[in-house]
Structure 1
Amino acid sequence: MSLLFTADESVIALANGCPRLRSLGLYYCKNITDRAMYSLANSRVKSKHGLWGAMKNNSDEKEGLVNLNISQCTALTPPAVQAVCDSFPALHTCPERHSLIISGCLNLTSVHCACAVQAQRVSRVAPYPHAY
C-alpha cells in the first residue's frame, strides 16, 4: 500500500512528529496552504504544554523553528504566517536577523516578527523632547 501525502499533510506530519524541528525549507511549494502554517503554529503551543513542555525549562527563542523559507509559497495568507511568527519568536523578518524568508510572496508584506512590531510601537510612543 502506498501513502500519498499532500503538501499540507507533509508539513502537518513534520509539525506533529518533530517537536524539535529547527529549520524548514518550503521554497516554491505553491500547494502549501494556511492549514500547514496553522499546524506549525499550533505545534508550538502543544510542545509548550504537552509531553515536550515538561522537558523544557526555557521555551523562548532557544526552542522551535529558527529558520523558515516560504519563498514563492503564494497560497499563504498573512494571518497564517503571522501566527507562525507569533509562535516562534526566533523567526525574524527584520533585516538584521532575517530568518523568515518570504521573497516572492507579495501578499505577505504585512507579516512582521516580534522585534519589528516592538520597534514600530516604540517609534509611535516615543516621547517628544520638551523644552522647559
Structure 2
Amino acid sequence: MPADETVIALANNCTHLRSLGLYFCQYITDRAMYSLAQSRVKNKHEMWASMKKHRYEDEGLMNLNISQCTALTPPAVQAVCEAFPALHTCPERHSLIISGCLNLTSVHCACSVQAHRARVLHPAH
C-alpha cells in the first residue's frame, strides 16, 4: 500500500488516533496531511461534544512526527496544525516534530501565532 494510502486509511478509520510517527517517510505527500486534517472535520458531532466539555484540545492527534518528510508543504502541515490544536511547534509543548524539513519553518501552532500577534499589537517600549 503506498504511503499516502496508509495515512489516509488511518485518518479515516482510527478516530481515536493520538500519536503518529512518520519519521523519514519521504513519499508522504500533502494528500496524506490534508486527509488527517479533514478527518477532524468528518467527526463534527464528536468535536462539538468535546468543545462543550472544554476538552477540544485534548481530543484527536496530540503528537505527530514528520521529521525528514521532505515532500510536505507548509499549507498542508498548517492545515493539520489548525485541525488539531494539541499539536504544538512552540518550544514549551513541542509535539509537532518537523526537524529536517527546512521548507516547513513557516508552520506554527496557535500558541506561536497568538504570541506573535501579541508582540505585534503590544511591542515592548
TM over 0.5: yes
Identity level (%): 73
Measured against aligned partners, the alpha-carbon deviations of 1:40-80 in whole angstroms (never above 9, x if no partner) come to 0000111124xx45764445111000000000000000000
Give the aligned partner of residue 9 of structure 1: 5
Structure having the higher helix fraction is: 2
Equivalent residue letter for 2:20: L
Q: 1:125 to 1:101 in 2, by over 3 A?
A: same
* TM-score (structure 2 length as normaliser): 0.92
Equivalent residue letter for 1:124: V
Structure 1 stretches of 5 or more lacking a match?
none
Give the aligned partner of residue 90 of structure 1: 86
Which 4+ runs in 1 deviate beyond 6 A? none
* TM-score (structure 1 length as normaliser): 0.87
Answering whether residue 122 of structure 2 is matched by residue 126 of structure 1, we say: yes
Superposed CA RMSD: 1.6
CA distance in 1: counterparts of 2:74 and 2:47, whole angstroms = 28
Q: Kindly indicate whether the alpha-carbon contact (under 8 Å) linking 2:47 and 2:56 is maintained by their aligned counterparts in 1.
A: no
